[in-house]
Structure 1
Amino acid sequence: MNSDNLNLDVGPLVIGGVGGSGTRVLSKLAQDMNVHMGQFFNKPLDNLWFSLFFNQPKWAAAAHEHEVLQSLDLFARASLEGFKGNASPETEALIDACLSTSRLAIRAPELGEATKRDILHSVGIETSAYKQWGWKEPNSHIFIPQIAKFFPEARFILMVRNGLDMAFSRNQNQVILWGRRFGVQLDDPANVSPSQSLQYWLAANAHARRNLEELMPGRWLEVRYENLLADPVAEIVRIAEFIGTNLDPELSQELAKLVEPPATVGRFRAKGLEAFHPDQIEAVKALGFVVE
């Protein structure tokens, strides 16, 4: 593929979804389609700058609009232009304030400090090397209204995986952090039940779809993880068309090799459905997912 000058009129490309839904492969695909997805990642390819700014327990019940938009401004400036070690005292104070309350820094202080240093010494994007820019961070779906407001041309890929499988995932971080927003009351955050996890999955995805339909009409795409596994070439072509990239058949086949079915697909069958309310199972089925 040829590299074009960075086009800020069609971005950013945002990838999100309930944690554990398989967004990592979407980030890798986007990068291979010449989209700059960030500079500082963890193993799942989450953009850790976004994680530092936005995974804030203080926003667990509701977003503070001004603070979220302020964080988006800091994130965009670091991503696009970079602070290059010359951030103003006011900017550094704002970043410190985010760091002090960030779940990332609370859980992993050294990683939080490393992320802050990386932000302060960010160099921006080499505009001649990339076609578009964006990021992948599963929690992005929580902030769709603010993203749509700050980035009027933002586009969003929502990754959705069968909620019955998701309910038995070890990754319940979003339920713990954002569950209250969606009516999930946890007596013990260390023990999220499969039913509570599925309740969150149903509510969070419905909320994301409503926001996307209202605020990003024609600029969002839902990708079903199971469809990506079943026919990776067809789904990759669909994703590329959404991004605006023309793929030749050979490259489509090559990118399809990035899609590897994990052993956890269909794990709900071994676990059984006894943990769920019948209405929950019917809701999953109504969305077109396999429930047996």
Structure 2
Amino acid sequence: MGNVIAIGALGGSGTRAIAQVLIEAGVYMGDNLNYPNDNLIFTRLLKNPAFHKTASNEDINERLNVFKQYMERNHLNFHDAGILLKASTDNLNFKDNRKLWVTVIRKILTVPKQREVWGWKEPNTQIYIEELYNFFDNLKYIHVVRHGLDMAFSNNKQQLLTWGYKYDIHVQGNEKEDEVAYKQLEYWIKSTEESLKKGEKLGDNFLLINHSTFCKSPKEQIDRIIEFSGLAVEEEKLSELYKIPKQTKTIGRYQKHNLDIFDNHQIDFVKQLGFEV
């Protein structure tokens, strides 16, 4: 059996390009993706703090099994279909589930097939690293880290708003821009620390990708990703993959802001992760 390849990060970390690399390398990443290549079936099942706060390991494994059946076998039985539909209905991120009903019916009617290699990209995957590792025997987890100060001033605050409570970081809605940036950086630090700690348990099945290095040295980093994922890719295809990473305009955006709003320990952690300040 091949590997299951998962990509997680803080939202806005540049994971779309890495997912695109895997897609073009032949890895099935799902049939329900948005523009950033997020797997929305994973989102529907697991990006829900109300579920996460009370879920047992059995509850999480039940939803992971539904996800596995959907992705690996391209099929759902009636029981699993019901779990997916209820999870999506209970998920405040989704208001209209009509298209999902059509998708679920198709999965019920589809003859099951076994995919040897598949994966997904969804930033909130980082919340479930430990549970995923315990569930999948063949998991390969890629964690993407973007410059913490760039992330502090990102417009993407989804994970901060959704999971900030895990680290006692709360956004009331009346904060000034600098106060939100401070909280966003603190969330980046806390979530990264937790992900790296959990990653130690995965050993060689955990790969850390520095977004800045990925953009500056695409050949080297894509070769790492391909080797880590256990993929065989022809040279001609590899040369195409090397062209996917792009230097975005948002790299270095922190330089336009006052960094005095941050504590020394925050700046130090950014440096420890290998980013220049």
The question of a shared fold, defined as TM-score above 0.5 by the shorter chain, is answered with yes
Other structure's SS at 1:41 match: coil
Other structure's SS at 1:135 match: strand
Using the aligned pairs only, state the percent identity: 27
- What are the ranges of 5 or more consecutive residues in structure 2 without an aligned counterpart? none
- 1:209 aligns with 196
1:4-60, Cα deviation, whole Å (9 max, x unpaired): xxxxx3321001111100110111101111111111100001011101001113045
Residues 35 and 131, structure 1, Cα contact 8 Å, conserved in 2: no
- What are the ranges of 5 or more consecutive residues in structure 1 without an aligned counterpart? 1-8
- 1:4 aligns with none
Residues 8 and 122, structure 2, Cα contact 8 Å, conserved in 1: yes
- 1:29 aligns with 21
Alignment of 1:98-247 (within 5 A): 98-105=87-94, 109-110=95-96, 112-122=97-107, 123=110, 127=114, 132-188=117-173, 193-214=180-201, 216-247=202-233
1:150-203, Cα deviation, whole Å (9 max, x unpaired): 112211000110010011111110011111112212222897701101111111
Distance in 2 separating the partners of 1:207 and 1:251: 35
Structure 1 window deviating more from structure 2 (60-69 vs 133-142): it is 60-69
TM-score, with structure 2 as normaliser: 0.90
Residues 46 and 52, structure 2, Cα contact 8 Å, conserved in 1: no
Shift of 1:125: 7.7
Residues 158 and 223, structure 1, Cα contact 8 Å, conserved in 2: yes
1:233-260, Cα deviation, whole Å (9 max, x unpaired): 1111111111122445443332121111
Matched, 1:46 2:75: no
TM-score, with structure 1 as normaliser: 0.86
Distance in 1 separating the partners of 2:187 and 2:18: 22
Q: Aligned pair in 2 of structure 1 residues 244, 189: CA closer, same or farther (>3 Å)?
A: farther
- 1:5 aligns with none
- 1:263 aligns with 249
Q: Aligned pair in 2 of structure 1 residues 120, 277: CA closer, same or farther (>3 Å)?
A: farther
Cα RMSD (Å): 2.2
Which structure carries more helix by proportion? Answer: 2
Residues 25 and 237, structure 2, Cα contact 8 Å, conserved in 1: no
- 2:268 aligns with 282
Report the number of matched residues: 273
Distance in 1 separating the partners of 2:235 and 2:162: 42
Residues 124 and 159, structure 2, Cα contact 8 Å, conserved in 1: yes
Structure 1 window deviating more from structure 2 (117-126 vs 263-272): it is 117-126
Distance in 2 separating the partners of 1:116 and 1:143: 26
One-letter amino acid of the structure 1 residue matched with residue 185 of structure 2: L
